[in-house]
Structure 1
Amino acid sequence: MPMNDMEQNHCPEVEGKNVDYFQRAQWLRAAVLGANDGLVTVTSLMMGVGSVKEDIKPMLLAGFAGLFAGACSMAIGEFVSVNTQRDIEMAHIMRREKAMKNGGENYKEEADQTEREQLPNPVQAAFASALAFSVGAVLPLLAAAFIREHKLRLSVVITVATSALIAFGVVGARVGGTPMLKSATRVLVGGWVAMAITFGLTRLIGSKGLQM
């Protein structure tokens, strides 16, 4: 009996925590993914251009182009994805409603109405993704905007990107209830790899005589 009482006392708390993390999953995924994509994409573009051009203008232009294109792409992609998810869930609700009515089961319209209200909102998801991408993308742009010396500019951009990647990993782990070190390391290494590949390949193409 004491064990049962203890289990009853602890289960609601555990279930509450699980529900909290599950409810956070949708917006957390979009926010972390969007911010991380914005940071890595724009930083990689700027590093790639910076590998063959010392002038600050092409570097900033590439960064702004990446910000605008990426934010639009994230918004459209999230809008289409969430609409598809919404259509699938709505079709499931309608099939279940029809089956219950045809089978003579007790149909609860209130329950289905609640489920409809809880369906994901495509417009909100698109806006959140675009905003998160823009927040991540603007960091390397701000870092490079006022530094004229080429090597120092690249170093500052890398430093800011590294710090932001670690921060995104820690925040994502903190809110999502996952191990911080593992999350931060995964985000950091992934970002470094993307930046290194972009920098190396762009520099290689530039060194082969491609006029820019």
Structure 2
Amino acid sequence: MASNQIPNPKLPLPAAPAPPLDVEQSREFDYAKRSQWLRAAVLGANDGLVSTASLMMGVGAVKPDIKAMILTGFAGLVAGACSMAIGEFVSVYSQRDIELSQMEREKKRAGDDGVGGAEEEGLPNPMQAAAASALAFSVGAMVPLLAACFIKEYRVRVAAVVAAVTVALAVFGWLGAVLGRAPVARSAARVLIGGWLAMAVTFGLTKLIGSRGL
């Protein structure tokens, strides 16, 4: 009769099976898909912030009146949001048409007719993209407007706009770096320097042209 054998506790336990490659790829793809629209929103807000602040600084270089500065910023917000929405709508609609045509060609090769409704739901939505783009731009553009809205003193108002834009640029740069998996300090510095440069160039050129009586 064979004796019972006690398993040796020193023997290594079998390692847990590694996750299949397709699972790891799907997780990576899910992260990219989630962060893509967030990063686009951050970039849209940054665009609204820099362009509106630069417009307000340019007008403020020749017209210290608070009304002119606020109206310029508001006009920049509306015009920029509409432009972003229309551009995003046209771009996404073109992408949707291309993907639909490709899906129809693949269906015909497989012997099927047409594209199903479930497949169309997975395609990008032009209206959603346009609304998100306009909203992101408007959020960024509101920062310099709110900073200048209640300050009548010209120099204090300009300083408040620059300070608010600086803080917002640093936040947007940090968010963009986190979502894009880029170095945070380098990304934030690029965004800050770019925003400062845009405001300084707009302010300086407008001041130069205004001083010549044009």
What secondary structure does 1:54 align onto? Answer: coil
What secondary structure does 1:18 align onto? Answer: helix
**Deviating more after overlay: 171-180 vs 124-133:** 171-180
Larger Rg over CA atoms: 2
**Deviating more after overlay: 56-65 vs 175-184:** 175-184
Q: CA RMSD for the aligned pairs?
A: 2.5
Asked if 1:167 is matched to 2:171, the reply is yes
Asked if 1:20 is matched to 2:24, the reply is no
CA deviations over 1:149-208 (Å, ceiling 9, x no partner): 111111110111011011011112223333222221222222122111111111111011
Structure 1, unaligned runs of 5 or more: 102-106
Listed as ranges, the matches of 1:4-83 within 5 Å are: 8-9=18-19, 14-83=24-93
Residue from 114, 125, 129 that aligns with 1:125:
129
1:7: how far off?
8.6
Question: Which of the pair is proportionally richer in helix?
Answer: 1
Residue from 178, 181, 193 that aligns with 2:182:
178
CA deviations over 1:99-139 (Å, ceiling 9, x no partner): 222xxxxx6999x6554221110000000011111100011
Structure 2, unaligned runs of 5 or more: 1-14
Asked whether the 8 Å contact 1:30–1:128 carries over to 2, the reply is no
Indicate the percent of aligned positions where both proteins have the same amino acid: 59
1:12: how far off?
6.7
Asked whether the 8 Å contact 1:21–1:176 carries over to 2, the reply is no
Q: Letter of the aligned partner of 1:90 in structure 2?
A: L
Q: Residue 104 of structure 1 aligns with which residue?
A: none
CA distance in 1, matches of 2:17, 2:60: 59
CA distance in 2, matches of 1:174, 1:108: 44
Asked whether the 8 Å contact 1:24–1:176 carries over to 2, the reply is no
Q: Residue 141 of structure 1 aligns with which residue?
A: 145
CA distance in 1, matches of 2:128, 2:49: 21
Asked if 1:207 is matched to 2:211, the reply is yes
